[in-house]
Amino acid sequence: MVRQRLIRDEAPLPDDAVLIRLLFDGYADGSAFDRATLIGDANLNFAEFGYYGLSMWGAVGSRSLESVLASKCRFSRWVALYRAADLRDNGLAIVPNGVAPHYDASAGAVYGHSFGSVQITAPSAEDLIDRFIAATYTGMQNKYFTARPS
């Protein structure tokens, strides 16, 4: 059963806002992302909330990059940093949802609304992932990484 996700009522992020996607430790081919895993994540979001999306954390407002890395991203050794403008330039919406500073990168309308100037028809998980992977990002090791407790 699809649940309605809380969409926060807030202004669009400025172009220079930093969004963070957690990464795994890397893949045999040297890539930062595994396309099949990302498609699975987007499909899971669709099954749960009714739209394709990829979770991200925003280092925006009073939340510095350092504080987000140390809190929301602490269990991830590697992260990818995106500027909001670079995601939008690749046709992705930035949906403010759940509890701040959570966002989804999405392709297409979410519950009948578009976010920013993005209006894409017939979105799919594959389209979302292709756009996401093609966007400019910076991969970095999280100096605040902490192993998950056993």
Question: Which element (helix H / strand E) includes 54?
Answer: strand 53-59
Please calculate the CA angle 13-14-15 and round it to the nearest 5 degrees.
115
Q: Is 85 part of any domain?
A: yes
Band (pLDDT 50/70/90 cuts) for residue 5 is: confident
Radius of gyration of the chain (CA): 15
- Residues 40-49: tens digit of each pLDDT: 999 999 899 8
Residue bearing the bigger pLDDT, 118 or 108? 108
What domain range includes position 112?
A: 18-138
Residue 123 CA to residue 128 CA, distance in Å, equals: 7
**Is the per-residue pLDDT at 149 higher than 70?**
yes
Q: Is residue 149 part of a domain?
A: no
**Is residue 108 a part of any domain in this protein?**
yes
pLDDT reported for residue 107 = 83
Domains contained in the chain, number: 1
pLDDT tens for each residue of 42-90: 999 989 988 899 999 999 989 999 999 999 999 999 999 999 999 999 9
The verdict on residue 150 lying in a domain is no
